[in-house]
Structure 1
Amino acid sequence: MSRDNIHAILMPKWGLAMHEGTISDWHAKEGDEIAEGAPLCDIETNKIANEFEAPVGGRLVRVLKPSNSMASVGEVIAVIAAGEVVDNDIEAVIAEHAIADQAGTESEADRLVEVETRFGKMAYVETGPADASNVVLLLHGFGGDHANWDLLMGALPDDLRIIAPDLPGHGKSTREVGDGTAKTMAKAVIALIDTLALGEVHVIAHSFGANVAAAVAASVPKKVASLCVIAPPALGAKVNPTYVEGFVAARRKKDMRPVMEMLFSDRDLVSRSMVNETIAQYRDEDARAAIAEVGNALLAAPSTDLTRDLAFLTGMRSKIIWGDRDAVVSLPEGLAEAAGDRLVVIEGVGHMPHAENPEAVANQVTTLISD
């Protein structure tokens, strides 16, 4: 008998580094009819919390993972069926997917690599073919790390070689940050490009990382094929000091959560694991001193200028992306008129467009690279 009307619902994979997720709540119970695309459950990962929509419509005939339980990516969490079904067929579908899941567990996830450069230790993750014709370098913002790009990396084309480093003072890279300025960070990025012999790279950079990327492009323009900046504290914009000061000062989860919530238009996207990992990353004294140095330098940076910064970007292949609900670096007045179609404003997202709407950002980046 055909079981085509029975659908195993699997724990989704949101980004390359996701291995498991926690189902925090179900929006439906066994026996409920649910439409395709309707909210099915809420899932938390160590990077983000989000609503999971039903991939098919039908009756929810089985919930295998109750609220507050964890499941691996690809594991069956529920079963949805159309029409009448019998228990034996449901169990058979579950068993088939369990076997497939076990067979595929060895192929998951990117690997953090640490290399010594002339600047110091630099950690990064890499995906895509080593001989790809286009190399993409992702630079995160203040207080972030390579994992901030996880969802975007999963949305970009498979034929790109993508490298996402931790900037100095962040993640697993060196704690030596010098004066903490974007120009100093740029020296570390250039050292990594040279160590890995990357040649020309397409740079996608977020927030403070965008200032680092601009410094790289100014220093070694022949190494930067194109530049996409996301919510940069440039072009007449300044970073919200409440975010930077709050991040540096936070020592406990209850202090860090409201700071991290500023990053998103939907505060529920900040998961407990995300807050816990951030607190853990800056627990030791060297890490706290390094991030404080970078934060102080960011706040002390000279005022930016719309005309000057835009002239720099228009001199190269570039794109500017902003969220219309950004509470950390607000969209500068006059930029939309001055930048024209070089600027893309994504609706309904905050300071992290690449996390809240990775598909929209990926589309813009893909177009920029292929132009």
Structure 2
Amino acid sequence: MEKHMERLPFPAKVFRGPGALKHVGDFCRTQGKNAFILGGKTALLKTEEQLAASLTEAGVKVVATEWYGGECTMENIEHLAGAAAAQKADFIIAVGGGKALDTAKAVAAKSKLPVITVPTIAATCAAATPLTVLYNNKGEFTSNLFLADCPAAIVIDTAIILATPVSWLIAGMGDTLAKMYELRAAASCMTPTSLTISAVMNGQICYDIIKRFGGEARQAVESQTLCGAFDSIVDAIILAAGISSIFGGDKLRNAAAHAIYNGFTKIPATHAVAHGSIVGYGNLCLLALEGRADAEIIEEITLAQNCGIPTTLKQIADLSDDEMRLGAEASCKAAAMSCMPFPVTAEMVLDAIRRVDALAAR
């Protein structure tokens, strides 16, 4: 029997802790002499002084610093790849949140350069994964771009992440909880393998960490106190969730919760809400779609409330009936919804939303 060859990319190095950014230069000089930095505007301002000091000490030159463009679009990726080539960059340093990091990873892949990710918020596992989520200029989800390699290094400075609004950590917990809810659902109709089992079990690890430390980590950000619970949640959001995504690969990555997020990006009123906050609410809708008992859904609503994750649609946006239907119909067309173990219709999504909102109101 012919054996199927699996190629599993993993991040090569991880630096995590308060002040981790000071070590970026030591690693970067192993990648070359010329650094091309790109990221979000706020993220670049918050990190530029420490980045410059570390790189200068290591003898690395910053050939350019660029804003990623505000949306992770193919147009921005093409433009920045051209800029990296023009500046003769040896590697990319990506700074910021999910869209900035995803843009940089795609730029690095197109340019055939290594990328070092520096997440300044803990809102997704984008810093670790070989995946870029693409949008159009309106902020609507379009597709996933699967990459051959993970970042060469991840630099997680927990002091920088702690100093960001708590809403980002809440979004990260919502996105990370999806690793359990979605992968459990999607894997139920797949033939088990060592990789699918590993993906699902890592999703369970993410869930267990958030259930144990989520509330305490949220309080740590609100009080600006570094502690073990906060470190654990950051690890779950970026590293454990990233590993689950790597093991899941292209076929076992998400399901209804991300499909609902993807669908609701068609509604401008939701664009101000973080990806993970909508996914976190989508997790509860997924449970309703599965027909799980009220008691189980209420238990998961309680966990979401403890973490600060939205548990009603109105906490995300006050939508009209037409907007709700538009979002529901678009979510059913999203590729992620096809990972559910049964067909899902727009009416089923609307019924799930109504049921979750009614249970949350208790």
Q: What's the TM-score once normalised by structure 1's chain length? A: 0.28
Q: What's the TM-score once normalised by structure 2's chain length? A: 0.29
Relative to its length, the structure with more helix (as a share) is 2
